[in-house]
Structure 1
Amino acid sequence: MSTVSFSKGWFRAKKLSLEAYTYEQAQALHQKGEFYCALIGSVASPLCFLEIKHGFVGVGFLDEALRESLTYAFQEKQPGKLFLSMATWREFEGNSDKVSKGTTYLFQPDGTLTIRRECFIPVHSLETSSSSADVSGNWEQLPDFGRYERFTRTER
């Protein structure tokens, strides 16, 4: 796995890490179930970041311009088990930070899937559809501190 560092969070608009935490500080927050951020890769240019607190892991995958192009949200749905409940893909207008379109997949443990396709340019439009999906691969064990490999896979 890549280098892991810890902080108070990832400031999306400014594309930077907030207040660095030591390994020990982050570990103490993890043990208490309190919020902290794990950066995978370099602090200045991470591949992704994880926002972690009791019962939740959010993963933001960054492109070469440090824009959050893919987001995963895992929620505790069973004791000790997290479920991938949302995945969002974003496309951007050229080299700007302006989102041109996005697709969000909302998963339910029973296999219900809602897909929201949203375009922002040139005019706003929204399409919603429902389906079912095999969600057996959406489950993950709560991560041990520092062991985030299973959450940092883009292909799920």
Structure 2
Amino acid sequence: MEIFFCKSWFRAKKCPTEMWCEEQAKAAHEDGKPYTVLVGSIEQPYCFLEVTRRAVGVSFLDQLLRESLSYDFQEVEPGILFLTMATYREFEGDTGKVESGTSYIFGRDGAVTLRREFFNPQRLETSASSADVAANYSPKPEFGRYEDLIRVERSS
């Protein structure tokens, strides 16, 4: 797994901002300051991680560099992250226009809220259920060790 570091991912332009060397990113990691990790390549990453002191966002990109899937992890105990939300997006053809989005919002107690939003015409559907959320926990990553967070399949 090749990884690259930058200040952030510019979503509108689908490119990184301000590439960083490993030392810059490691200093940000150690200081709890935000930085971004590109996985795979700089021009066509498989995904990118937005790392902050208490949270990590993971965005998986399709071949057109659109965010088709994103995971939001929050630190819930020292050194332990929990996947609080997963969002899947469907796009209109080859455009960047989101047709629909489905978010799964997870509670540590196993509660799951499903929100499915359609944009043309505007419509929102919600439902609630429960699930085994044991696989939603992940150790807070050491610098450079992001393998557990970039797994698309989260089930145990």
C-alpha separation in 1, matches of 2:86 and 2:67:
12
Q: Distance in 1 between matches of 2:77 and 2:24?
A: 27
Report matched runs for 1:15-54 at 5 Å.
15-54=14-53
Q: What residue in structure 2 maps to residue 99 of structure 1?
A: 98
- The percentage of counterpart residues that share the same residue type is 55
Q: Deviations over 1:73-107 (max 9, x none)?
A: 00011111000000000000000000000100000
Q: Secondary structure at the match of 2:29?
A: helix
What is the 5 A alignment of 1:5-154? 5-121=4-120, 123-154=121-152
What is the DSSP-based 3-state SS (H/G/I as helix, E as strand, rest coil) of the residue aligned with 1:86? Answer: strand
SS of structure 2 residue aligned to 1:151: coil
Query: Tell me, what secondary structure is at the counterpart of 1:46?
Result: coil
Q: Structure 1, unaligned stretches of length 5 or more?
A: none
Say which SS state the counterpart of residue 46 (structure 2) adopts. strand
Equivalenced residue count is 154
Amino acid paired to 1:18 = T
With normalisation by structure 1, the TM-score equals 0.98
Alpha-carbon distance between aligned partners in 1 of 2:13 and 2:144, rounded to the nearest angstrom: 25
**How far apart, CA to CA, are the structure 2 residues paired with 1:110 and 1:50?**
26
Q: How far, CA to CA, are the matches of 1:60 and 1:93 in structure 2? A: 19
How much does 1:140 deviate?
0.4
Q: Distance in 2 between matches of 1:78 and 1:108?
A: 14
Distance 2:107 2:78 in 1: 16
* C-alpha distance in structure 1 between counterparts of 2:128 and 2:113, whole Å: 4
TM-score normalised over the length of structure 2: 0.98
SS in 2 for 1:28: helix
**1:34-56: CA deviations, max 9, x gaps?**
10000001101100000001110
How far apart are the structure 2 equivalents of 1:41 and 1:151?
14
Please list every run of 5 or more consecutive structure 2 residues that lacks an aligned counterpart in the other structure: none
